[in-house]
Structure 1
Amino acid sequence: MYPKENQAEEKKQVEFAVLRNITELRRIYSFYSSLGCDHSLDNTFLMTKLHFWRFLKDCKFHHHNITLADMDRILSANSDIPVEEIHSPFRTILLRTFLNYLLRLAYHIYHKDFQSRSPSLFLCFTKLMTENIHPNACQVKGTLFSEQQRTLYSMNYIDKCWEIYIAYCTPNVAPPNELTMKMRHFLWMLRDFRMINKELTATKFVAVIAEDNPFIHDGVDSNLELELVFLEFFEALLCFAVSYVPDQINKSCLHAQYDDLFGNKIGSIQMVMSQSIHNRSPSVVTSHESDVVTFSNTKSSSSKLGFFPDMRLRKSEPKIKKSLSDDKCSKMNFKPSGKGLAFLSQNEKNEKPKNDQKEKLNTWVNNMYVFFVNTLFQAYKHEELLKEKVKENRLQDAAIAQQKKMESEELEARLNILREEEAKKQDTEMDIPVIKEPGDALSSALTQSPPKEDTAMSQASKSTPSKKKRK
């Protein structure tokens, strides 16, 4: 975009600016790429698009009248990125790509402020570092990466949620016509799932999404035409899960987990987590030796996290059939083991802050389970079954209509043939001449002779009186 005579100077000055900030940029890259990951042996991680979106939101790039979806389209222009991966959260970003993205976004955000000055790209990048990155980087906001333990647990639902996100995206009007989701479509999706109720109202829906975006709601009006990337979609679902599940449902879910010994619950979760894509999210592993459900990150195997905190199922112990009220005397506590975090019953010797923290984590885990597995995923499955049934019914109706059309055409063809034959018969009857036979001629002559005799007799009777007069 720069004239050729200015490109060399622009490039040199921006290289100097990047080198002056390279230490901090490396630290930022390493920090965000490690979010939601276990510790690595060499402490190296690859940043994904999900991490990059979080960095952009933390540094308030989207406060410059440009959405994250717009940034994706800017960064994918003149590149080899396929259209279906423009908004993919699993695409990896190298450090040099990360630096390149910052330069391009700096130009698109601030180039109007330095149109008359040179070198302008250097000035754009410097202003981006000063106003956006320096004051805000590494201060993680949002719900997905707020806490390591909750992040690892939330990652188990990410692949199924990505499938739902893609299913309800629509092609963008502007080129390259990639699939995107608007806030309006997100709200319609929840309405179709029958999840908009007194716990999750449309007003709360707007408030959650507008919490970190000043262009969605200004206090009076709401703009539901803004596009949402998958990070915003998934973090909104995590927020909804906290307030959507009433306390009564949460308690009943806890009782069911104790009474059923995790049988149905773990089976359903394993079905959901078996859809995880390799090298994308933590995978669920069931240990047959200790019957402890754990999940580990694919990037590292140094540590594993128990699936349900405060809970443990052991072969040596009898089946537990107690409710939470009956289990006051024995609190559940973490105890590390070789294959994961085991959950053993102990006396009330732990401190109250630890118990409160575990209780909160336990409640949060069950809220996540009830919202995602029992509500969202089931509603999505039901909608997909309805869509398949509608398609089948439409195909059947089309086949029946086609068959009726063929039958009506065949019947019409037969009627046309009969009509043509009837018309031919009528034409032949009109064309045949009427020929009298000899017998008929004789009978007609005989029938006509008596009148002749009558005339002769009448003539004879007339002649007799005339003869008498003559005499």
Structure 2
Amino acid sequence: MYYSEDGASFYEGDWVQGIKQGWGRRVYKSGNVFEGQWMNNQRHGQGTMIWHSLNQRYEGTWENGVIHGFGTHTWFLKRVPGSQYPMRNEYTGEFVNGVRHGRGKFLFAGGAVYDGEWEDNKKYGWGVFTFKNGRIFEGQFENDHMLDHPTFSMDGTTTPDLTGIRTRTPPGYQEELMSVKSAESKNTLGPSLALNIRHLLDEFPEVDRDEEQNQVFCVVLRHISHLKRVYTFYASLGQEEVSDHDNTYIMSKLQFWRLLKDCKCHEKGVTLAEMDRMIARGKSPEEIHTPYEQMLLREYLDHLVTISYHLYQEELTEDEMATGRILATCFSKLIQNNILQYAGSVAGNFLYEPRRAVNALGYMEKCWEIYKLQCRQRRHLPHEPSMKMRQFLWMMMDYKLLNETLTSGQVLRILSTDDPKVSDGEDCNLELEMTFLEFFEGLIGCAVKYVTEDVLKNPSPQASEAGSQGGDMDESIASPASAMLHSRASQMSARGRENESPESASPDLGSPMARASTVDIKHDQSRKTLDTQPSGVLSSSHTDLNPVSSVVTQKVTSEHSPDHLKKSSSVTVPLEEDMSGLEQHRISMVSMGPSGETLEEVPDEEELEEDEEVMDESDRQFNFWTNQIHLFFIRRLFPAYEHMEMLKEETVRDRIRAAEEARLAAIKAEEDARARAQAAEEEALRKAQEELERPKTSETDVTAKEEDEVATTVTSKPSKSPPKEDRPSRKSRK
């Protein structure tokens, strides 16, 4: 049953006499989902509720539409920059009418744990509080505070001074600490970061392998914080900030390529495709150059060590070779000369800005199909499909995408922007291999050059002929066919229309169904940069969310404004029926300090006006860029690709048809030959039969002829004259 015209709000499940009863799934217009048991049109029994807009989840018992009984409530938070672990608060225990009441255990995002009694969402009664440093307090709680220290405030994310508080060391802690510090443990990085460089160690004498491995571990430990920040930074490129509520991004091969490009590793005389083959252990040929491959942090470290060895081993001096730490020296050179100097300065044509990255990646899947189509199998091992710069230029010519604005020389200049070895203005090297990142970056660069501002402003047939060699461009950019690009352009700035704010990381979180939010977040329009701050975090538009923030605000684009791509306003998001029966609150932009105090900032009006002007200009440039790539991909490249594929399919069908016709003709010719042979055989048999029958017929004919001749002779012979005496004499006759 649908509750909205667009089908976004609906129920599917069991009904009894027109009411929801039994097992069912309810999807609300806000995107929130409940799946579980129903009774009398209310959530009742076991069920799971997911508040996508609040980044919260509850699984447990319901009663008359309210959380009641035993269950688990989870609040997903942004993780701390530089950390590989997700941040979340989680309570498992008893609920009464939607609040924590009874026995329960609360796991705080910062690592602290409270296990004890609750009353009205507050710690009340006997409980055990374990701080994140391992110290334990056990005693009475009242009104969310320790009874012995009523002024002591804690939120589980910070470790305050515990000198005046009675705490104890957790059991087994000293034994565990001693085992960790034991010299018998060789995995100094921990089990999650154990390097797998056996393939490199096999190239060294067996007596040197342990020393090489230990020295590499030392280099990794020395720079592990920065390497983690680099991993986190590049793993977040192209990710929508609201797409992953716990911010646990995993680096893809596409992002790894961008890291290698930014660090200028390809300027060491090795292409990205060759680096792919360096780290392609255990992969099939089709998997070597895929941009969708994901790599964990330890795999990322393995790949960096492997690539550093191949890049720098020939540059080592004799003294460095004699030290017995060749791998460590190569890795140190890569970190010092490439990663520390250049990582974070994102170049290219789209990944440097979040909105452009999200927009461009919407065309990635189709472009990946085109890339695979243009690849050819290499003659050398491992015989994987690969593409060269020459094939890229041929593709542009075959698809008729070159014109007066985008010439072949201009294409070479676009490709050489990220790789100077392609062309130096006089000579060019079209035999260089291209990964999909270079292919995709090249297409976006061509799109910006191909679609000029005059073409967008004057989409007339004359402008179309001047700007393209195929297709028509006389359709207005403001037409319904291009509405999607305006929607895509404003996706990053208007995605919070129905988002409620997540709850605070403090213990007094309350029920998510009792909250609505006022949303107001600005987009960072500057290029992403990675700088080491005093606190050791990265400067990025994807970070800087306080894990103990009580709310998250977001900017909403007004759909009722005629110029909705430039103007925005703060709105209060109404709650849907899944918030019914509970108190609604209006939450402003605040954050909670370590002691629970409220921190609120009121921006200066002049700063807001300046920011609005900058946002307007930035939005204008972004929308123009969005129109360019939309027009190039949707109305030029993809139709040309589909047309070419249609021609190829038609050619294949013609070949199949011709082969079928040839087969049928051959069959018919064979049948005709067989018929002729059979006819000839029958004729031969007939003649042979005639030959066999011919002698008998001749003898019969001769005998009959002789008899006829004899009869004829007898019949025609005159009869003998009577005797002389019987003849009358002439005289007597007279």
Whether TM exceeds 0.5 here: the answer is yes
Match of 1:99 in 2: 301
Aligned to 2:510: none
What is the percentage of aligned positions where both structures have the same residue? 34
Structure 2 residue 653 is matched with structure 1 residue 388? no
Residue aligning to 1:73: 277
2:625 to 364, 367, 372: 364
* Local SS of the residue matching 1:181: strand
CA displacement 1:251-290 (0-9 Å, x = unmatched): 24698243x3xx32246999x99xxxxxxx99x99999xx
Once the two structures are superposed, the pairs formed by residues 332-347 of structure 1 within 5 Å of their partners are: 333-336=566-569
Q: Residues 92, 339 of structure 1: CA spacing in aligned structure 2 closer, same or farther, 3 A cutoff?
A: farther
Distance 2:485 2:623 in 1: 19
Whole-angstrom distance in 1 between the partners of 2:411 and 2:645: 23
Tell me, in whole angstroms, the C-alpha distance in 2 between the residues paired with 1:408 and 1:73: 53
Cα offset for 1:68? 0.6
| CA–CA separation in structure 2 for the residues paired with 1:200 and 1:84 | 32
The one-character-per-residue Cα deviations of 1:286-308 (angstroms, maximum 9, x if unpaired) are 999xxxxxxx9xx99x79899xx
Q: Which residue of 2 aligns with 1:112?
A: 314
Cα distance in 1 between the residues matched to 2:259 and 2:565: 37
1:37 aligns with 2:219: no
Mapped pair 1:189 → 2:385: no
One-letter amino acid of the structure 2 residue matched with residue 107 of structure 1? Y
When the two structures are superposed, what TM-score results if normalisation uses the length of structure 1? 0.75
Deviation at 1:125, TM superposition (A): 1.2
Deviation digits for residues 326-384 of structure 1 (CA, Å, limit 9, x no counterpart)? xxxx89623156699xxxxxxxx988765543332222121111111111111112222
**Could you say which residue in structure 1 is the equivalent of 2:210?**
8
Aligned pairs (5 A) from 1:456-471? none
Cα offsets for 1:397-417 (capped at 9, x unmatched): 222222222111111111111
Confirm whether residue 264 of structure 1 aligns to residue 481 of structure 2. yes
1:377, 1:121 → 2: CA distance? 46
- Aligned partners of 1:10 and 1:166: how far apart in 2? 39
The match for 2:287 among 85, 104, 119 is 85
Q: 2: CA distance between counterparts of 1:337 and 1:76?
A: 50
Which amino acid letter does the alignment assign opposite residue 415 of structure 1?
Answer: R
1:82 CA displacement = 4.1
Q: Which structure shows the higher strand fraction?
A: 2
Give 2:327's aligned residue.
Answer: 121
CA distance in 1, matches of 2:684, 2:360: 81
Pairing 1:420–2:420 present: no
Confirm or deny that 1:21 pairs with 2:223. Answer: yes
Partner of 2:433: 227
**Matched residue of 2:387: which SS?**
strand
Give the number of aligned pairs.
404
Where do 1:244-323 residues align within 5 Å?
A: 244-252=450-458, 256-258=476-478, 260=479, 263-266=480-483, 314=560
Change (3 A) 1:332 1:148: closer
Matched letter for residue 48 of structure 1? S
Q: Is the 8 A contact 2:496 2:554 kept in 1?
A: no
The answer to whether the 8 Å contact 1:304/1:339 transfers is no
Q: How far apart are 1:48 and its partner, in Å?
A: 1.3
Equivalent in the alignment of 1:178:
384
AA in 1 matched with 2:272: L
CA distance in 2, matches of 1:242, 1:210: 16
Deviation at 1:52, TM superposition (A): 0.7
Which residue in 1 is equivalent to 2:362?
A: 156
Q: Deviations over 1:141-166 (max 9, x none)?
A: 11121222222221221222122212
Which structure features the higher share of helix residues?
1
Cα drift, residue 230 of structure 1:
0.9
Give the Cα–Cα distance (whole angstroms) in 1 for the partners of residues 456 and 621 of structure 2. 12
Residue type of the alignment partner of 2:476: A
1:410 paired with 2:643, answer: no
Indicate if the aligned counterparts of 2:555 and 2:568 stay in contact, CA closer than 8 A.
no
Residue 251 of structure 2 corresponds to which residue in structure 1?
47
Cα distance, 1:266–1:359 mapped onto 2, change above 3 Å: closer
Q: Secondary structure at the match of 2:618?
A: helix
Q: Secondary structure at the match of 2:372?
A: helix
CA distance 1:64–1:89, shift in 2 (3 Å): same
| Distance 1:337-1:235 versus aligned 2 partners, 3 A rule | farther
Cα deviation for residue 217 of structure 1 reads: 2.3
The one-letter amino acid paired with 1:256 is S
Is the 8 Å Cα contact of residues 110 and 124 (structure 1) preserved in structure 2? yes
Separation in 1, partners of 2:566, 2:345: 31
> How far does the alpha carbon of each residue in 1:178-225 deviate from its partner, in whole angstroms, 9 at most, with x for none?
222211222222222111222221111112112222332244332222
TM-score normalised over the length of structure 2: 0.50
Name the CA shift for 1:201/1:44 in 2 (closer, same or farther; >3 Å): same
Q: Which amino acid aligns with 1:334?
A: K
How far off is 1:104 after superposition?
Answer: 0.6
SS at match of 1:225: coil
Aligned residue number for residue 56 of structure 1:
260
Please give the secondary structure, in 2, of the residue aligned with 1:222: coil
Distance 1:372 1:177, change over 3 A: same
Following the alignment from structure 1 to structure 2, what is the Cα–Cα distance between the partners of residues 167 and 241?
Answer: 20
What residue in structure 2 maps to residue 278 of structure 1? none
Change (3 A) 1:199 1:448: farther
The offset of 1:90, in angstroms, is: 1.9
Structure 2: which amino acid aligns with 1:18? V
CA contact (8 A) 1:244 1:371 kept: yes
Q: Secondary structure at the match of 2:386?
A: strand
2:374 to 140, 158, 168: 168
- Structure 2: state its 5+ residue gaps: 1-202, 460-473, 499-522, 524-542, 546-551, 574-608, 719-734
Specify the alignment match of 1:438 in structure 2.
703
**Structure 2 residue identity aligned to 1:147:** E
1:237 is aligned to 2:443:
yes
Farther-moved stretch of structure 1 (60-69 vs 244-253): 244-253
Mapped partners of 1:303, 1:402: distance in 2: 70
The answer for the alignment partner of 2:418 in structure 1 is 212
In 2, are the aligned partners of 1:58 and 1:141 still within 8 Å (CA)? yes
> Which structure has more RCO (C-alpha within 8 Å, separation ≥ 6)?
1
Write the distance in 1 (CA, Å) between the matches of 2:289 and 2:630. Answer: 27
- How many angstroms apart in 2 are the aligned matches of 1:158 and 1:89? 10
Consecutive unaligned residues in structure 1, runs of 5 or more: 274-280, 289-295, 321-329, 341-348, 454-471
Q: What is the letter of the counterpart of residue 12 of structure 1?
A: N
| 3-state secondary structure, aligned to 2:237 | coil
Taking a change above 3 Å as real, the CA distance of residues 223 and 155 of structure 1, as seen in their structure-2 partners, is: same
Q: Please give the secondary structure, in 2, of the residue aligned with 1:180.
A: strand
